[in-house]
Chains A and B, each alone.
Chain A
Amino acid sequence: MENVNESTSVRVLCPKLVLDKNEPGLQWLIGSPFFPPHTVVSAVRCIHTDSSSPDYRRESEELRTLLLKGFEVIGALVVANSGDGMSAAGEAIAAARRLRKLLRRENGKKLDSRQVIGGVADCRGGDIQFFVSKSESLTSFEAVNVLYDGHPEKYVWERGCLLRCELPFKLPIYYPANKPKDSEKMFRHATEAVIAKFKDPKAAYLVEALSKTSAEVPQPVILRGVDLDFDTDLSNVKLAGESAQDSEAGLLSCSHFCLESKKSARVYSVEHADRIQVSILLNSSDKSEKSTAPVAEYFPALEEAKVLVVDFKLEVLCYSAKGLPLKHAVSKLLIPGLIDQFNLVGNTVLPNLLAQHPQLHPYHFSPPGVLHPITVVYELNYGETEMKQVEVRKSLHLRLGLPFDRPLLRIANALDISTSRDVVRSDAKWKGSSLLKDVHVGIPSSGVSGGSVSLVQGSYEYYHYLQDAFNDSGWGCAYRSLQTIISWFRLQHYTSVQVPSHREIQQALVEIGDKDPSFIGSHEWIGAIELSFVLYKLLGVSCKVMNVRSGAELPEKCRELALHFETQGTPIMIGGGVLAYTLLGVDYNEASGDCAFLILDPHYTGSDEHKKIVNGGWCGWKKAVDSKGKSFFLHDKFYNLLLPQRRNMV
């Protein structure tokens, strides 16, 4: 697997390698044993430190389950204020070697033969320098070139696929009633026995593709525990070529279950990655055993004994090169992954063995900007809004360099690996809702030449007149715009509040004292200011308001609006004169000043058909002045723009 080209350069896949260059610190560089040795897939921050040096033990414990098997720490990056690049690189390499050792659970004797990368970045900017240490025995290291990859998703998902194993089971623990302390020892023994069972020669591993189109799906394959090899090193395993297909189950590679589709048409992302499901079963028809007629033996407990049953729900995700033989994918990736997760869960349960067990559940996420999925085990006794869980998510955001005003690691964000990949996840989840989502996708372009487009980030639902058999034609446009904005906050998991009806919106305004009780049930209009009140009351969202004295001034605000879409990405409500619109994006050419606004019009009264909406121009790019010389925004009216701000929450 070693790259032939040894006179190497470092290949960097992640789009934004340096999470935060402004702050000194250490970041771990993540690679994969299936990629050439100097390929950096991503970087995660080291968040646990002892005074100045990293807390290797805690770091290794967290990274062991956070990273999927099939990804590994291959180096470190030091972000420093100033100083000697070489010595910082040496530090980084030493830290990475030490962490690798802990992760591999090796005690100092065996030298790590893998090449390790040390990176140095300067807080004040400038490029990152990379150094490579060839082997642990050598103290020297050399500077190398850097290569940034343009299609990182393709690089990762063309080469590899995901393996998933879900394993719920129950573990009975017997212990003497008078010595409850012994239960912990019993628990450890029981877990050891379970781990041994994962690798038992009698175990059978059912491997099948997770895919919808049943016609093409290859038949499931059974691997037997006896045939697995737990001792070979992954780097010694030969990957099968794409074409080489061995019919024997033991030699099949993962690509047997991967779809071979037209390469050009494929979308490369975690959601579209090839997925293989593995289930562990126990073969009860092993021939090696002596077959004795059934016998039942009773053993009374001579001292008082108790039993308690611990429930485990393991779910492991691994990344495997498509050419990796299945049996190695199971023995070298999946089972080590199961063992690590089982140990983590077990260690969390252990202190509370006799009390209430924490409800632990693993979730997989693929946060934006991180190329590979991650696995996190959440404790859900008190729900995910509990402070402890918020802290857990905050530290994960910190580690992964995610913004703190976006809930990206909520349970609702989790990857749904079990369903087939052809079903778009969000569709299945929102089946109950008949509303159209993201109607702006696929509309004709704005016609602004050389402009840069800034759009709303994330999904929203299109609310407009006459929906839900409610006649609000002529007065409800701002209500509808508000509903669209709230649906956006719902879909981004900031809130679980239902999208309010007109009456509920009015109710909220009355409750805060903005309106008289007679307002409820009336057909009175509301404007941007009322919307901001309701957003704050129902969601805790605060808004910026932008005033424009005349519609003619709106194009001047384009730069500001573009910035809003880039940093906040929320839909904007535009109120002016008697009309309210929802603004989903701007297309702006800074040089020429030419601009267009992506308007979602709530005044639409037709049925929810995408084609009709787009053809009728109810969702589309509007120039301030169109080709016929007509102004979209009225020059004699003032406009209020409502810019909702993301909440600081994770």
Chain B
Amino acid sequence: MVKAVVGEETQLKLAEDRLEKSSTPVQVGLLIGKLSSSLDRGFVFDLIPTPPNDAGAPACSVLEPAKDDKRKGPKPKSQPSDSFSLSIDKDWVAEHARQVSRMLVGGMKVVGIYIWASDSAFKNSNITLCQTVMGVAKAAPLSEIDWDERLLIHICYSPRRWTCRNCAVASNITSSSLRPCDFKMGRVLNSLQHFRCMYNFDIRLPIFHKNSSNLQTFSEALCHGISVHAKDLRSAKAMFDGNLVVNDDLCTSDGLHEVELLLPFMKDTEACSQKDIAGVVDFSGSVCSFAFLNPKEPISQAVADIKDDIITSLQSRLGIICDEADGEVGPTETSGQQARDGADIQEPRDGISSGTPVSQIVLQSFRQSCNLSLPRRVFVPWLAGTFVCDYLQPSETFEVLKDRCVELLSMEAPADESTILEPEIDAPSAVTKSFWDVVVPLPSAFDSCLEKSGIEKLRGESSRKSTEFSNVNIMAAGIFLLLSIIIGYILIFVRRS
């Protein structure tokens, strides 16, 4: 339960000036900040206005009361406006929150919304506002701990006044959903402490045979894998600048702190009895994570934020891939269920070429190796030395990134590309391993001489199979090349003759 909220003075003043100059009667946007359970406090770092929706309409507008129908056009401000209320495109604000939350790093969240409106309009629209806050809360969940409140800041223009309210999002909207809470301006961004963690992981996800489990698409399998791994990650111990994080230590030094995560020894296997295996997914790579911490919070909070950020980052990347796949497939090929049925009927599909994006492949009925590269994470400098992040697919450039920063965060495009951090590199896409290579842990070099027979034989068989496959491919390509040359010659001959 947040008792008091501190807003970052510099950013909030800037926002106020911006609003004043814009002369828009109403505006809605997101609050970026943090709710701290250990301090019972909320922090607001910045306000981000929600951009106009796809149709070009603003996310928020003033509704005139029905009885005023006859009079048209915008009302002058002097008009008694007791009966005005607000109309908010809730879905659009929620979508904005979803997109923005993907761009935030550890310790920074979408903690609610702000509204720039007159007092009476605000009072008349409590329910709409609560609904909007709930939509935002659903689209941008805070963390694993179910935080059932968000903030609603009202900036009133006459008289100029900032008020903050707690909005309970767990229950139905009632008159008590909105409760006032203490709000003041202060400096919070500059004192933030910076933590960084490079997290390397390598997970094996067994894909069970369709007889013994539900069918899973690639992305569903990964999503499940991430949530299972999240449990292990939460139990991980952490080191901070080489020392173990114990209890409620506070961090007393400035600068960038390195966090190292120590995972429990081989716990990442889901318990299961003897089961048929259709294949295995090797999910590996690195996640670079940042977290920003108020100096009054313990280091353990930064560790929790880092862990949270790692999981969120993996989920966001998968989300981006899936969003894209949805876009590609579009209305022609419909829901997952149909794709599944289809895949079931035409069992041995050859290749990804048939139109299904990799993320939507049903693994149990797909008999070839395939890989799904998640976008890499880049960090863009934001306020007071902090960062926001974005995800770039191999095909995307910094221009895309800049556009997103401008559009979603309404920040100025980073002029200098060299300020963007790129700690992760694109994964090489070559797949040369086979099933047995992956599931049988490689014995280290020194003892491999002991017993080569069994595994090597198995490995040998499967790799031979895969080479056969590639041989066929190469031969096909060669024949095709030969054919085309011949046809070319024939054509030339025909022309000449």
Binding site for B on A (CB under 8 A): 167-172, 174, 176-177, 182, 185-186, 188-190, 192-194, 196-197, 203-204, 206, 219-222, 280-287, 289-302, 304-309, 311, 354
Contacts and interface: CB of A to CB of B under 8 A. Distances in A.
Interface stretch (B136-144, B331-339, B367-375, B487-495): B367-375
Contact of B266 (A185, A186, A194): A194
A176 B281 CA distance: 17
A307 B285 contact: no
Nearest to A312: B266
Given A182-B454, A189-B440, A170 B425 contact: no
A308 B274 CA distance: 5
B200 A308 contact: no
A186 B439 CA distance: 9
A197 B264 CA distance: 12
B346 interface: no
A257 to B, nearest CB: 14
Given A170-B267, A171-B266, A281 B237 contact: yes
B441 A189 contact: yes
B206 A172 contact: yes
Contacts of A283: 260-263
Contact of A193 (B200, B423, B441): B441
B447 interface: yes
Contacts of B288: 291
B198 interface: yes
Contact of B369 (A176, A220, A300, A354): A300
A177 B435 CA distance: 14
Interface string B251-279: 00000001111111111010111111111
Interface string B348-384: 0000000000000101001111111111110000000
Nearest to B359: A296
Contact of A299 (B198, B243, B271, B435): B435
B260 A285 contact: yes
B128 interface: no
Contacts of B424: 291-293
A193 B237 contact: no
Given A284-B262, A295-B374, A298-B279, 18 more contacts: A171-B269, A174-B439, A204-B239, A204-B262, A281-B263, A282-B265, A284-B200, A284-B260, A285-B260, A290-B425, A292-B286, A293-B285, A293-B424, A294-B286, A297-B372, A298-B207, A298-B281, A302-B434
8 closest A-B pairs by beta carbon, nearest first, are A193-B441, A294-B285, A185-B454, A293-B376, A281-B262, A285-B260, A300-B279, A295-B427
Contacts of B455: 185-186, 189
B60 to A, nearest CB: 37
Interface string B435-462: 1111111111001000101110010001
A415 B451 CA distance: 40
B431 interface: yes
Contacts of A193: 441-443
Interface string B408-444: 0000000000000001111111010111111111111
Contacts of B274: 306-308, 354
Contacts of B304: none
22 contacts: A170-B267, A171-B266, A172-B204, A172-B439, A174-B439, A203-B265, A220-B246, A282-B262, A284-B236, A285-B198, A285-B259, A294-B317, A296-B218, A296-B371, A298-B279, A299-B279, A299-B282, A300-B279, A301-B278, A304-B276, A307-B206, A308-B273
A296 B277 contact: no
Interface size class of B (residues with CB under 8 A): 35 or more
A294 B314 contact: yes
Given A188-B451, A222-B244, A289 B286 contact: yes
B284 interface: yes
A206 B262 contact: yes
Contacts of A306: 274-277
Nearest to A285: B260
A174 B440 contact: yes
A196 B200 contact: no
A301 B374 CA distance: 23
B480 interface: no
Contact of A291 (B279, B283, B286): B286
B197 interface: yes
B465 interface: yes
B285 A300 contact: no
A309 B269 contact: yes
B366 A300 contact: yes
Nearest to B204: A172
